[in-house]
């Protein structure tokens, strides 16, 4: 597995989501109904990536560091504006989009230098009932040779 930078993992996820029609929210905070633009299709996302585990493997013969493995928790936070006169269709479309995001993220071609596993999803409605939010969590593992 070739080495990919942490930034490359983040950018790959961002590109995959933008390709499916979502608008990236340039906020460093979690998206919520208070920091989303009023205009647009009403499909927004942000990414949160945390490094959760680092394991170092040593070569038993030489005692030198040979392999570095880093695991990330990548959370895709999506927001869907609910159409006031057709909320059921919005929810159905949202579930279809969620599945397509999961499918796209776990494809080997999306992350050619990492292993990706879908962990789970959390869905909730905003207090104003204007947006439906989905948090989709993935584990992303990178490993590379250390010289």
Q: pLDDT tens digits, residue range 57-84?
A: 555 555 565 667 788 888 888 888 888 8
Residue 34 burial (CB count, 10 A):
9
Q: Is the pLDDT of residue 50 over 50?
A: yes
The HSE-up count of residue 79 (CA atoms within 13 Å, CB side) is 24
pLDDT for res 54: 63
When the candidates are 2.60.40.10, 3.30.2000.10, 3.40.50.2300, 3.30.565.10, the CATH number that belongs to 6-145 is: 3.30.2000.10
The yes-or-no verdict on residue 5 having pLDDT over 80 is no
Stretch 49-59: mean pLDDT, rounded? 65
Range list of β-strands (E), 13-130? 23-24, 43-58, 65-81, 115-125
93-131: pLDDT as tens digits: 888 888 888 888 887 777 777 888 999 999 988 887 888
Q: What value does the mean pLDDT take over residues 9-27?
A: 77
Alpha-carbon radius of gyration of the chain: 18
Q: In which element (H, E) is residue 144 found?
A: strand 131-145
What burial class does residue 60 get, using C-beta atoms within 10 Å of its C-beta: 0-12 exposed, 13-18 middle, 19+ buried? exposed
Tell me what pLDDT residue 57 has.
Answer: 55
Mean pLDDT of all residues in 13-32? 71
Question: Mapping DSSP to helix (H, G, I), strand (E, B) and coil, where does residue 50 land?
Answer: strand
What pLDDT score was predicted for residue 37?
A: 57
Residue, of 4 and 130, whose pLDDT is higher: 130
Confidence tier at 137 by pLDDT (50, 70, 90): very high
CA atoms within 13 A on the CB side of 91: 10
* Confidence check: pLDDT of 1 > 50: no
Q: pLDDT value at position 39? A: 55
Distance between CA atoms of residues 30 and 106, nearest Å: 23
Spell out the domain ranges in the chain: 6-145
């Amino acid at each position: 597995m070739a080495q990919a930078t942490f930034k490359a993992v983040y950018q790959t996820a961002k590109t995959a989501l933008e390709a499916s029609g979502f608008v990236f929210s340039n906020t460093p905070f979690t998206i919520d109904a208070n920091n989303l633009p009023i205009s647009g299709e009403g499909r927004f996302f942000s990414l949160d990536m945390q490094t959760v585990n680092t394991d170092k493997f040593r070569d038993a013969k030489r005692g030198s560091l040979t392999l570095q493995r880093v695991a990330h928790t990548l959370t895709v936070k999506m927001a869907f504006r609910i159409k006031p006169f057709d909320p059921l269709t919005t929810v159905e479309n949202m579930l279809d989009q969620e599945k397509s995001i999961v499918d796209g993220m776990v494809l080997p071609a999306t992350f050619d230098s990492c292993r990706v596993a879908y962990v789970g999803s959390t869905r909730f409605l905003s207090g104003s009932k204007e947006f439906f939010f989905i948090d989709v969590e993935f584990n992303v593992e990178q490993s590379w040779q250390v010289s």
